[in-house]
Structure 1
Amino acid sequence: MSAAASIIHQFGHPGEVVELFEQPIPEPGAGEVVVQMQRSVINPSDLITISGAYRSRIALPFQPGYEGTGVVVACGDGVTYPAVGTQVLPIGLPGSWSTYKLTPAQWCIPVSEGLSLEQAATLYVNPATAWLMLHDRARVQPGMRVVISAGASEIGRMLIRLLNQVGIEPVVTVRRRSSLPRLQGLALETVLFTEAPDFDHALQPGSVDLLLDAVGGEVGMALARCLKPGGHLIHYGLLSGQPLAADLPLQLSGVTFELFVLRHWIHQAEKSSIHALFRTLESLMLAGTVSSNIDSVFQLADIHKAFKRIDDPDRDGKVLLDLM
């Protein structure tokens, strides 16, 4: 038997380089399981990887997709958990834009029956990144002045809700005024529009404790210059396609600069800490704190239509793949 899978043989625009092919259903080896994927997410980080931004650490051919949920359908020798029939998040390795994913059993996180497929599929990348940046890296405290770039994004809104829980009303940036409806109901200090000239003049230099930057480029640099001595910059995305200046840590004397990569935390943490994190995230997901809007769901065969939807400025939320 065979199943559908996605692959790239060269870097470039996803609509041009992502291919679908038929591959045999994998057989698990010792310590491995096969997960029949049900829903997978197309994240900006996936598209940036496919573009070649991280080509120095990605070997080709490459099977994309870091986030999704499915059911264990086969276990290799020595695997006692998760058992066949368990709903899991297979984290830590790519390959989720495929009907079946072969993965080490130790990287499977069991999912509560209380979560829908859409909730389970989106429980990993954004929620874990948001929670860890705030509570593991920055250790946010009431009274801190926080700035979030791309505040109307799915992860931006998660960060705002998590900050609101500790009494912080952050400053956020958005590109356009049309994004304002997505921020309704959230407690904010102010909204800055990055397409406006000198958008950063509303922030005084040395007035910001923490910057969470997913944009990079000129926007990220302008915001970074507003950090206090002793402030903290966490850079975790590259939505502009432009990196921050290589000498930024030297420019910002006394500021802690940190590049947050979820994969690094996941591969360095104790497994008990990872499972504890997901128990926390499940509770927050059920409460709506780290939930995502779902814009649309496409069959894997229509993945190129999904890419076009992602580029649509009217999109509101995550684009998922239905792999069932």
Structure 2
Amino acid sequence: MSTEMMQAMVVAAPGAPLTAVQTRVPVPGPGEVLVRVRACGLNFADTLLVAGKYQVRPEMPFAPGMEIAGVVEQVGEGVTRLPLGARVAAYAGYGGLAEWAVVPADRCAVVPEGMPDTVAAGFLIAYGTSHIALGWVAKLRPGETLLVLGASGGVGLTAVELGARMGARVIAVARGPERQAIAERAGASVLLDASADIRAEVKALGGADVVYDPVGGELAEAALRATRPRARILPIGFASGGVPQYPANLLLVKDLSVLGVHFGAWADHSPEAVRGCFETLFAWWRLGRLAPHVSNVLPLAEAEAGLDLLRRRQATGKVVVEIAG
């Protein structure tokens, strides 16, 4: 057991605010690495995690923070792929809002030279989810119409960007001109306000071949009814709080497919595919084909404020907590 101490932001009970504590630096086990955390990317799923409403429920108290960027400082038994001192981004699951974190080595990716920690910390989950959803699951084709709900949010914005890079016509749904402008810069061809009649507007544009939905609720219902025959619907999350119920009769008569995408499950059952996904995405970043959007960078002591930005859906792109320089 390590005797060295570190600062962490932890949740002690479901729904409680984060509090700063001193706790022991963790020790990596077989197949794991100890990372000195420099930045932690926050995701909407972190808000569910601290509320006790996520599918993964760590024993409390624990530090949330699903993805990190930092430096490998210690490796566990059997780890040969990552040398000491390597700059990595990692999908930790939780534990990222701390000065050190232990993560499985196969969930780490070496960060390209020149990529800032604040960008690397928010890169894997958002871009990884969209790349797997659009490329691997929906098999989006050039010339198809992609409808993205929540298009200025963390994952939605990456779906706009990747969809456009894959040759799709992207219809971006976002609330207000400022958020729509962000989606337009990412590559959206058509901009719709979230308050519009999405069903009527999208049908007038010919309908959607693929729906990327991190929002759920009423928007999900409208998007479903704006699909073309044989469309693919991708439930990514439920930021609105409403979990859509897809009527089987409509799926049948329109020959629709509903294809759930859970990044954490892919990391568990297909780690090689996920690593290949990261290699592709980092290569695109090095070539200047991706432009990650970080809207807020906060210090560790203000991590609760970062989660609140996500709860109130006030952020665009990613919210990142900077832990060490």
Task: State the TM-score, normalized to the length of structure 1.
Answer: 0.88
Distance 1:73 1:45 in 2: 28
Residue of structure 2 equivalent to 1:257 = 258
Q: Is the Cα–Cα contact under 8 Å of residues 161 and 289 in structure 1 kept in the other structure?
A: no
Residue of structure 2 equivalent to 1:163 = 163
Distance 1:227 1:106 in 2: 38
CA offsets 1:264-292 (integer angstroms, 9 cap, x no match) = 11111143x33322111112223444432
Q: How big is the shift at 1:90?
A: 2.6
Residue of structure 2 equivalent to 1:2 = 5
Q: How big is the shift at 1:147?
A: 0.9
Distance 1:297 1:159, change over 3 A: same
Q: Secondary structure at the match of 1:192?
A: strand
Q: Is the Cα–Cα contact under 8 Å of residues 119 and 291 in structure 1 kept in the other structure?
A: no
- 18-27 vs 256-265, greater mean Cα deviation: 18-27
Distance 2:173 2:11 in 1: 34
Distance 2:218 2:301 in 1: 38
CA offsets 1:142-192 (integer angstroms, 9 cap, x no match) = 221221111222433322222222332222211223423213445544222
CA offsets 1:176-223 (integer angstroms, 9 cap, x no match) = 234232134455442222223x34212329832111111100111111
Distance 2:288 2:316 in 1: 17
Question: Are 1:216 and 2:219 an aligned pair?
Answer: no
Distance 1:57 1:93, change over 3 A: closer
Residue of structure 2 equivalent to 1:77 = 77
* Aligned amino acid, residue 5 of structure 1: A
Question: Are 1:65 and 2:65 an aligned pair?
Answer: yes
Count of matched residue positions in the alignment of Structure 1 and Structure 2: 317
Residue of structure 2 equivalent to 1:201 = 200
Q: How does 1:1-324 map to 2 (within 5 A)?
A: 1-12=4-15, 16-54=16-54, 56-61=55-60, 62-196=62-196, 198-204=197-203, 207-245=207-245, 247-253=246-252, 254-271=255-272, 273-310=273-310, 315-324=315-324
Distance 1:37 1:232 in 2: 38
Distance 1:143 1:217, change over 3 A: same
Distance 1:310 1:150, change over 3 A: closer
Q: Secondary structure at the match of 2:169?
A: coil
- 125-134 vs 304-313, greater mean Cα deviation: 304-313
- 145-154 vs 208-217, greater mean Cα deviation: 145-154
Q: Secondary structure at the match of 1:83?
A: coil
Distance 1:299 1:188, change over 3 A: closer
Distance 1:9 1:45 in 2: 17
Q: Is the Cα–Cα contact under 8 Å of residues 217 and 244 in structure 2 kept in the other structure?
A: yes
Structure 2: unaligned runs, 5 residues or longer? none
Distance 1:263 1:237 in 2: 13
Structure 1: unaligned runs, 5 residues or longer? none
Distance 1:208 1:171 in 2: 9
Q: How big is the shift at 1:314?
A: 6.5
* Aligned amino acid, residue 214 of structure 2: A
Computed over aligned residues only, the root mean square deviation of the Cα atoms, in angstroms, reads 2.4
Distance 1:294 1:186 in 2: 13
Distance 1:288 1:20 in 2: 38
Distance 1:78 1:165, change over 3 A: closer
Runs of 4+ in 1 over 4 A off after TM superposition: 308-316
Q: Secondary structure at the match of 2:203?
A: coil
Q: Secondary structure at the match of 2:298?
A: strand
